Structure 1
Amino acid sequence: MLKTLLAEVKEYKRDSILAPVFITLEVIMEIIIPVMMASIIDNGVEKGNIRHVCIMGLCMIAVAMLSLTFGAMSGKVAARASTGFAKNIRNAMFKNIQNYSFANIDKYSTAGLVTRLTTDVTNVQNSYQMVIRMCARAPFMLIFAMIMAFLINARLAFIFLGAIVFLGVVLFIIISNAHPIFLTVFRKYDDLNASVQENINAIRVVKAYVREDYEISKFKKACTNVYCMFVKAEKILICNTPAMQFAMYSCILLLSWFGAKMIVGGSLTTGQLMSLFSYVMNILMSLMMISMMFVMITMSKASGDRIAEVINEKSDLTNKEDSMKVVKDGSIEFDDVSFTYKKHDEGEEESNVLRNINFKIQSGQTVGIIGGTGSAKSSLVQLIPRLYDVTAGKVLVGGVDVRDYDMEALRDEVAMVLQNNVLFSGTIKENLRWGDKQATEDQMIHACKLAQADEFIRQFPNGYDTFIEQGGSNVSGGQKQRLCIARALLKKPKILILDDSTSAVDTRTDTLIRKAFKEEIPNTTKIIIAQRITSVQDADQIIVLNEGAISDIGTHEELLVSSDIYRDVYESQTKGADQNGSK
């Protein structure tokens, strides 16, 4: 974990080194001050030497100013180093997430990744800033103060040594018990963020079903879980304060008792005792800093483990060294393909989502896929651009196993309009250029005409410059689907996959879209997943899926004769249409 995180310090190494250097200089200045104070008392005040008092007083002011300057410089470079470190960690996480396969993404929840990018990184940032400052200040102050205390009086200095050993044992016990709790706390944070994200995304549904009270109750439960875990952790951490106070007061009492006896006996001066009191405060403050630092590190270690997990996660899809860069055509073949989603939880059973899938599609053909909910239609088409790898068998595109292609080259030739249509915040033009960032306005208009989107776009006051809100919340479901289809067409792909992507448009618009496909992109292989028979009945072949296996393959007319599943769907839909028409 440490190796992974420290690799992201990068250009902030200089600031990370300067911070402890400045802190060390600050500590040296602070250590000198009690020695000057003892000299003022012993050689100035007690002997009535005003000149010595003035000289040493001016020296103390100069040393204090230097200490203040070094402290300010340390704070400045430490802040720059920690915020830069956090920036690099976020960039590294986000960059690696972009390389994840769908299987990697399935391993983490969206809320979990958001928590790692925000709360966890902030914890590590705060801890790093404290470490590069306090990790230098506290140990150096502790060591220098102990050295000075031993130089003044070794017998009294052993009091400090006893306090250090006592607090070291207490800190070890506290940290070993608190760390596992913080690991659990951050998992509860994931649940909290998931609750917020789900509620905001579905706020319209919540209001439509008047479920505000239920959502408030669910969020309150998530908050309570976080609260209870933090209370449990803090009950352990709070033991640090009484232990520190016990050590501090014990040192002061013992130092006062034995120090007073030594002054009376003549083996210790008043100035030396005052210096020892200053050093005892320095030592105990250093121990307090160390304890605070360990508490912060305990929290941030849990965060660091979660961050390192995301950064070190390797995509389970990789390119071969000699991977092919060119896709010859849009022909597709499934050769005895089986597929299973990877399990991420212990005890989770694996079962084939797809079993023994065999079929061939010629380049330029239109193929429909029909099947009930859960029949693995989406899983099947996601194997074509290699969003997942097959468990057994092979998928061929252009006569070549998809695993032999460079993934970027393959996916550039396969355009998918997924079930969950996603538009990004920005103008319609900016969204369309996801398909082709160099697309001209005429090309965008042509693609939108094919997708039957041009007409409604022109009705907006700003036309193609209309701003799309986050998630496309200011356009209807059908409009969103047509914009996503237009975006896919701008890729000029060899294979176009529509995963139930016209479900929110009327049958007339659906027909016009399919007609445009047939006339304008005849050489593009088109795969249409649909629930409506009318969306696929004109296809060159139709695949009927049932519980992850192919039930039948054929044309519309052939399936009406040979496939009970297809015929039942067709009759139920045509019967419904006839009844609606008679009304």
Structure 2
Amino acid sequence: MLVTLLRHHLAPYRSAVVAVVVLQVLQTAATLYLPSLNAQIIDDGVATGDTTQILRLGGIMLAVSLVQVVAAVAAVYFGAKAAMAFGRDLRGRLFGHVQTFSAQEIGTFGAPTLITRTTNDVQQVQMVVLLTFTLMIVAPIMLVGGVVMALLEDVGLSAILLFAVPALAVVIALIVVRMVPYFRSMQKRIDAINRVLREQISGIRVVRAFVREEREQERFAAANTDLFDTSLRVGRLMALMFPAVMLVLNLTSVAVLWFGGQRVDAGEMEIGALTAYLSYIAYILVAVMMSTMMFVMFPRAVVSAERIGEVLTTTTTVEPPAAPVPLPSGPTSRPGLVELRGVEFRYPGAEQAVLHGVDLVAEPGRTTAIIGSTGSGKTTLLNLVPRLFDVTGGALLIDGVDVRELDADVLWSQIGLVPQKPYLFSGTVRTNLEFGRPGASDDELWHALEVAQARGFVEELTGGLDAPIAQGGTNVSGGQRQRLAIARALVRRPHVYLFDDSFSALDYATDAALRAALVPETRDATVIVVAQRVATIRHADRIVVLEEGAVVGVGTHAELLESSETYREIVYSQVSAEEAA
């Protein structure tokens, strides 16, 4: 998966990658040539007292050093540019792909792990890409080049490398194999910390209301300790790797000095050659150390790449149509007509369907209300209209066209949704309302606020339309959030309004005023309201009663009081028989 990600996302930067490789090869070649020049200066210049030779070879060394520095700086520049662009593109692709997920896929992964995969996991892979450009290309060239140059200096002394290199490979392999499962566990522990932290920050009011700060601290401490323990195990392995590598390499250097000194004493080797040989041993050491760093980072990047791949290879259950069908136009069309024909919905792996055999028609210009006990499937039914989920049986049509055959943008342009938990984005009142329709005028925004009974409190806010809104709307009350969410839907001017228990936080007077103001605004649109309060929906043109996922009653308030036992139970649980009548 790591190779696939690299191949796909580095393709647009192929020229930068090629430039990095060429520059790194040039830099390494210059680095490997310097000890040879140094040996010539010692043996041909210093030993003989030839000043001209010393100056000539010294000048060449300066030129080679200049090439080395320029190539190194340029390689780092292009490598960093390609690596950062890779991370940017991968994060963008992940974010875009998650945006195509239905509520089902979002729920399967969960927000905390999606955040971790888009940030921390991408960063791990990006870091390996950067290290590859700055270290991994250099390391094998320097390692092989160092061995070759050492052989050219003295073949007999190079027999030491036959023992040193395999010993290094075995030490590194044994440690890296043990690191992989710890890195996989570490990323899961980061997911857990994100989940706990997100819950505690979002639910801080509940935590304080129930005086559960100490318990939440214990929860976070447990998640934090799990990550600490896993990181500590990884740290111990990493701490073991570097001393083990240094031990092997230092023993190699001692052996080179011991046997090399004997060869110099016997006249079989020049002092300059021994100096150069020690430099090549140092290069081999540096190359192995760089490789060791990559071996430390690589297992974690592989785990992160697998986690990223899980997201990218997950396809949404709400698939776009291969050949989208346009909505009908002309005098025969009925914009906003919603039909459910034998609709069934079942969550994956569930034994029973949440909805089954639902037949329903919601017509333009009429208000259709849905009521039922908790868990009867009201919200699920409403979520099927904008394709937050897809029906698993039957069909759902808008203006005579199955929603699965409509382009997503066309479908969503027809719908104004006010969810059960109204969510406001960080920004201002204006930016939140403009989610409904970008570019709406101030007059349109104020009108929507007035209809939603929100104009009064918005005018009292400092800045009015430009008053700041915190993430989630936490700086306004629940009722104010609901009214702003309703205003956002009104700004959109859709053909279908979906209100999912959107009046629950309003007092009866505000609820009645809002519903009265909505009538002229939604006269030509289809309005579907899910509600728990009978007072909110008793004047609806049609009321649909759900029980255990099935329609058990359809009619007006008066008709259902006569014909539906379920509806009567709901009504009488809220008001007296006299008030209900």
Question: Aligning the two structures, in what range does the TM-score lie when normalised by the shorter sequence?
Answer: over 0.9
Partner of 2:506 in structure 1? Answer: 505
Alignment partner of 1:338 out of 336, 344, 354: 344
TM-score, normalised to structure 1, is 0.93
Partner of 1:387 in structure 2? Answer: 388
Partner of 1:372 in structure 2? Answer: 373
Deviation at 1:562, TM superposition (A): 2.7
Deviations 1:415-470 (A, max 9, x none): 11001111112222221111111322222222222211222222224222222222
For 2:577 and 2:182, locate their aligned partners in 1 and report how far apart those are by CA, in whole Å: 58
For 2:392 and 2:558, locate their aligned partners in 1 and report how far apart those are by CA, in whole Å: 34
Contact 1:142 1:283 in 2 (8 A): yes
One-letter amino acid matched to 2:366: Q
For 1:235 and 1:43, locate their aligned partners in 2 and report how far apart those are by CA, in whole Å: 49
For 2:158 and 2:576, locate their aligned partners in 1 and report how far apart those are by CA, in whole Å: 96
Contact 2:16 2:79 in 1 (8 A): yes
Partner of 1:428 in structure 2? Answer: 429
Alignment root-mean-square deviation, CA: 2.1
Contact 2:429 2:465 in 1 (8 A): yes
Contact 2:458 2:465 in 1 (8 A): yes
Partner of 2:212 in structure 1? Answer: 211
Contact 1:23 1:70 in 2 (8 A): yes
Question: For 2:396, what is the secondary structure of its paired residue?
Answer: strand
Contact 1:451 1:483 in 2 (8 A): yes
Deviation at 1:126, TM superposition (A): 1.3
For 1:576 and 1:172, locate their aligned partners in 2 and report how far apart those are by CA, in whole Å: 79
Question: For 2:95, what is the secondary structure of its paired residue?
Answer: helix
Matched, 1:252 2:258: no
- Pairing 1:441-480 to 2, within 5 Å after superposition: 441-480=442-481
Percent identity, aligned pairs only, is 35
Contact 1:160 1:283 in 2 (8 A): no
Partner of 2:132 in structure 1? Answer: 131
Distance change (3 Å), C-alpha of 1:452 and 1:374: same
For 1:191 and 1:576, locate their aligned partners in 2 and report how far apart those are by CA, in whole Å: 51
Larger mean Cα displacement after TM superposition, 32-41 or 238-247: 238-247
Deviation at 1:575, TM superposition (A): 4.6
Question: For 2:361, what is the secondary structure of its paired residue?
Answer: strand
Deviations 1:26-75 (A, max 9, x none): 21121112112212222233333344334333433333333223222222
For 1:282 and 1:229, locate their aligned partners in 2 and report how far apart those are by CA, in whole Å: 34
For 1:185 and 1:71, locate their aligned partners in 2 and report how far apart those are by CA, in whole Å: 34
- Pairing 1:89-108 to 2, within 5 Å after superposition: 89-108=90-109
Deviation at 1:373, TM superposition (A): 2.1
Partner of 2:45 in structure 1? Answer: 44
Contact 2:171 2:245 in 1 (8 A): no
Deviation at 1:365, TM superposition (A): 2.0
Partner of 2:440 in structure 1? Answer: 439
One-letter amino acid matched to 1:334: L
Larger mean Cα displacement after TM superposition, 133-142 or 517-526: 517-526
Deviation at 1:536, TM superposition (A): 0.8
Contact 1:9 1:88 in 2 (8 A): no
Deviations 1:153-174 (A, max 9, x none): 1222232243222222332333
Question: For 2:211, what is the secondary structure of its paired residue?
Answer: coil
Deviation at 1:10, TM superposition (A): 4.7
Deviations 1:240-294 (A, max 9, x none): 2233123212212321232222223322112111111111111121011111111
Partner of 2:264 in structure 1? Answer: 263
For 1:379 and 1:232, locate their aligned partners in 2 and report how far apart those are by CA, in whole Å: 45
Partner of 1:346 in structure 2? Answer: none
Distance change (3 Å), C-alpha of 1:252 and 1:418: same
Matched, 1:488 2:489: yes
Deviations 1:135-194 (A, max 9, x none): 211111111111111111122223224322222233233323221221121011111111
For 2:447 and 2:50, locate their aligned partners in 1 and report how far apart those are by CA, in whole Å: 96
Matched, 1:540 2:541: yes
Contact 1:25 1:67 in 2 (8 A): yes
Deviation at 1:237, TM superposition (A): 3.5
Larger mean Cα displacement after TM superposition, 542-551 or 268-277: 542-551
Partner of 2:79 in structure 1? Answer: 78
Deviations 1:357-405 (A, max 9, x none): 2222333221111122222211111111222111111112222221122
Deviation at 1:11, TM superposition (A): 4.3
Matched, 1:172 2:165: no
For 1:85 and 1:302, locate their aligned partners in 2 and report how far apart those are by CA, in whole Å: 18
For 1:230 and 1:474, locate their aligned partners in 2 and report how far apart those are by CA, in whole Å: 38
Question: For 1:394, what is the secondary structure of its paired residue?
Answer: strand
Query: Number of matched residues?
Result: 573
One-letter amino acid matched to 1:333: E
Distance change (3 Å), C-alpha of 1:527 and 1:95: same
Partner of 1:33 in structure 2? Answer: 34
One-letter amino acid matched to 1:341: Y
Deviations 1:543-572 (A, max 9, x none): 222222223222211222333332222122
For 2:562 and 2:181, locate their aligned partners in 1 and report how far apart those are by CA, in whole Å: 63
Deviation at 1:503, TM superposition (A): 0.6
Partner of 2:416 in structure 1? Answer: 415
Partner of 1:581 in structure 2? Answer: none
Deviations 1:339-370 (A, max 9, x none): 12235xxxxx5532222222223332211111
Matched, 1:326 2:332: no
One-letter amino acid matched to 1:134: L
Structure 2 unaligned blocks of 5 or more: none
- Pairing 1:572-583 to 2, within 5 Å after superposition: 572-575=573-576
Matched, 1:571 2:567: no
Distance change (3 Å), C-alpha of 1:385 and 1:475: same
One-letter amino acid matched to 1:194: R
Partner of 2:5 in structure 1? Answer: 4
Contact 2:369 2:529 in 1 (8 A): yes
Question: For 1:9, what is the secondary structure of its paired residue?
Answer: helix
Distance change (3 Å), C-alpha of 1:462 and 1:304: same
For 2:339 and 2:220, locate their aligned partners in 1 and report how far apart those are by CA, in whole Å: 48
For 1:120 and 1:319, locate their aligned partners in 2 and report how far apart those are by CA, in whole Å: 28
- Pairing 1:114-193 to 2, within 5 Å after superposition: 114-193=115-194
Partner of 1:286 in structure 2? Answer: 287
Question: For 1:259, what is the secondary structure of its paired residue?
Answer: helix
For 1:5 and 1:277, locate their aligned partners in 2 and report how far apart those are by CA, in whole Å: 37
One-letter amino acid matched to 2:256: L
For 2:4 and 2:578, locate their aligned partners in 1 and report how far apart those are by CA, in whole Å: 65
Question: For 1:574, what is the secondary structure of its paired residue?
Answer: coil
Larger mean Cα displacement after TM superposition, 459-468 or 528-537: 459-468
Distance change (3 Å), C-alpha of 1:457 and 1:98: same
For 2:458 and 2:250, locate their aligned partners in 1 and report how far apart those are by CA, in whole Å: 76
Deviations 1:214-256 (A, max 9, x none): 2221111111111111222333344322331232122123212
Deviation at 1:487, TM superposition (A): 1.1
Contact 1:367 1:541 in 2 (8 A): yes
For 2:367 and 2:448, locate their aligned partners in 1 and report how far apart those are by CA, in whole Å: 19
Partner of 1:24 in structure 2? Answer: 25
One-letter amino acid matched to 2:284: I
For 1:351 and 1:184, locate their aligned partners in 2 and report how far apart those are by CA, in whole Å: 35
One-letter amino acid matched to 2:392: T
Contact 2:32 2:142 in 1 (8 A): yes
Contact 1:5 1:304 in 2 (8 A): no
For 2:235 and 2:375, locate their aligned partners in 1 and report how far apart those are by CA, in whole Å: 46
